[in-house]
Amino acid sequence: MDYNFGKIVGNFAVEGKLLRCERYGEGHINETYLAEMAENGKTTRYIVQRINSDLFKEVDKLMNNIRLVTEFNRKKIAERGGDPDRESLSLVYTKSGAAYIRDEECGGYFRIYKYITDAVAYQVVEKPEHFYQSAVAFGDFANLLAQFDATQLYEVLPDFHNTVKRFGDFEKSLKADKFGRAKEVEKEIDFVLKRKEYCSRIVDLLKSGKMPTKVTHNDTKLNNVMLDAKTGKYVAVIDLDTIMPGSICYDFGDSIRFGCNPAAEDEPDLSKVNFSVDLFEVYVKGYLSALGKSVTPAEKENLAFGAILMTYECGMRFLADYLDGDMYFRTRRAKQNVDRCRTQFKLIEDMEKRYDTMRGIVERY
Ligand code: ADP
Ligand code: GN1
Ligand code: MG
């Protein structure tokens, strides 16, 4: 899609002339662009995002969440002697101080972030140390926000990790079978239905108060952490659209789902998709060391299960989206959502076999 980036960028408090603005990154939800501006003889980069307003109906409230969280973190990072422009996601405000613009002529809702320099977001774990760093990053992020008043946050996507509700949505997509695709994926459908009992465990623990509800990121994939390009150390956690109240088992589980697999999330060759217990251990070590004593027994007891549950939820969402006609997750080729759900189910089978080992590892740290 071509947008009038000159006009878009012109609304924001950035100096200089727009040199270029090109598609960037691998996100499934928003459209991300890298902009380069010429400012006083030097080039400055920015991240321009077109916000997915089909999904985020209340953009104003979404952006208010991001403003609150990033301002809070920037202050905390400055207080501890860090560089807020690099260690926190940072909004560039418009000339009138707003966090985003809405312009139908420009093509929708846009926001700009400061570009986090000399840092990389990895799509797969290339070195265990990177995965360790992402664990420390998410743990540190949770610590930074431990004193943040969660009641200020608007629940952007209610029931985001409510697996009972997700299962119900899956059943609806299956029943509707709008494109007659169910017959192509019978095995996968069966896989989901057989595991229905997974859905209520954490939902019930949260509801009863046996597990604490905390400020969580809710999309803790490796590619939502920026690591230093030279040292590999973590720099910042990004992609804050889904910051909401939730369980740390969700955040932990989603990291494991994405990072403990050496193959891509949409790898068609399942022989390349395997759950790595070694990487699981690496993540547990980093995450629990960063979180310290704030982890409760109920959380610890369910971390390994959270990994299975988040993988199940994601696979079920990919499969439902295939049945719905690929409406939610951006796809670049036919059956990409089927490949995505199959990788998730392969990982679940592996994790189910190694479940006791996984729990033992959590116990040890
Ligand atoms: P999505 O919600 O679609 O996943 P993200 O906010 O995660 O979008 O951005 C997609 C990609 O863009 C990231 O994986 C990362 O590579 C890059 N990116 C996003 N924000 C920044 C930033 N502030 N600085 C540098 N790179 C960024
Ligand atoms: C989406 O935006 P992105 O690519 O970081 C999705 C996550 C899924 C993930 C699967 C708002 O994340 O929930 O786990 O794809 N985000 C939303 O890769 O639905
Ligand atoms: Mg992302």
Residues 315 and 210 in one domain: yes
In a domain, 12, yes or no: yes
Give the mean model confidence (pLDDT) for residues 58-84: 97
Asked if residue 184 and residue 82 are part of one domain, the reply reads no
Residue 112, domain extent: 5-117
Which pLDDT tens digit goes with each residue over 180-236?
999 999 999 999 999 999 999 999 999 999 999 999 999 999 999 999 999 999 999
Q: Does the Cβ of 28 fall within 6 Å of ligand 2?
A: yes
Q: Within a domain: residue 16?
A: yes
Number of H helices, E strands in the chain: 12, 11
Average pLDDT in the 36-55 region? 94
168 phi, psi to nearest 5 deg? -60, -40
Q: With a cut of 90, say whether residue 94 has pLDDT above it.
A: yes
- For residues 306 and 47, give the distance between their C-alpha atoms in angstroms, rounded to a whole number: 32
58, 174, 295, 343 from 340: Cα distances, Å: 28, 17, 31, 5
| CA distance readout (Å), 86 to 149, 201, 228, 237 | 24, 38, 10, 10
For the Cβ of 242 lying below 6 angstroms from any atom of ligand 1, the answer is no
* Same domain? 176 vs 275: yes
**Phi-psi region for residue 325, left (φ > 0), alpha (ψ -120 to 50) or beta?**
left
CATH number for the domain that contains residue 20 = 3.30.200.20
Ligand nearest to the CA of 24: 1
- Ligand 2 atom closest to the Cα of residue 30 is 2
Asked if residue 85 belongs to a domain, the reply is yes
User: Is 102 found in the same domain as 217?
Assistant: no
Taking the centre of ligand 1 as the mean of its atom positions, its distance from the CA of residue 162, in whole angstroms, is: 25
Q: How far is the CA of 164 from the centre of ligand 1 (A)?
A: 30
210 and 246 part of one domain: yes
Ligand 2 closest atom vs CA 318: 10
Q: Which of 67, 91, 117 is the last residue of a domain?
A: 117
Q: Which helix H or strand E contains 226, and what residues bound it?
A: strand 225-228
In a domain, 123, yes or no: no
Pocket test for ligand 2, best of 219, 255, 317 (most atoms within 8 A of CB): 219
Q: Is the pLDDT of residue 1 over 70?
A: no
The CATH number of the domain holding residue 223 is: 3.90.1200.10
- Measured CA to CA, the distance from residue 325 to residue 327 in angstroms comes to 6
- Render pLDDT for 306-351 as a digit per residue (tens, 0 to 9): 999 999 999 999 999 999 999 999 999 999 999 999 999 999 999 9
Please name which of 76, 149, 150, 142 lies closest in space to residue 289, comparing C-alpha atoms.
142
Cβ 14 vs Cβ 92: under 8 Å: yes
Cα dist from 6 to 98, 350, 351, whole Å: 18, 49, 49
Does residue 2 carry a pLDDT above 90?
no
In a domain, 122, yes or no: no
What's the domain count of the chain?
2
Residue 234 and residue 175 in one domain: yes
| Ligand 1 binding pocket includes 239 (Cβ within 6 Å) | yes
Instruction: Report the 10 Å Cβ neighbour count for 349.
Output: 12
24 lines ligand 1 (CB under 6 A): yes
Residues 64 and 137 occupy one common structural domain: no
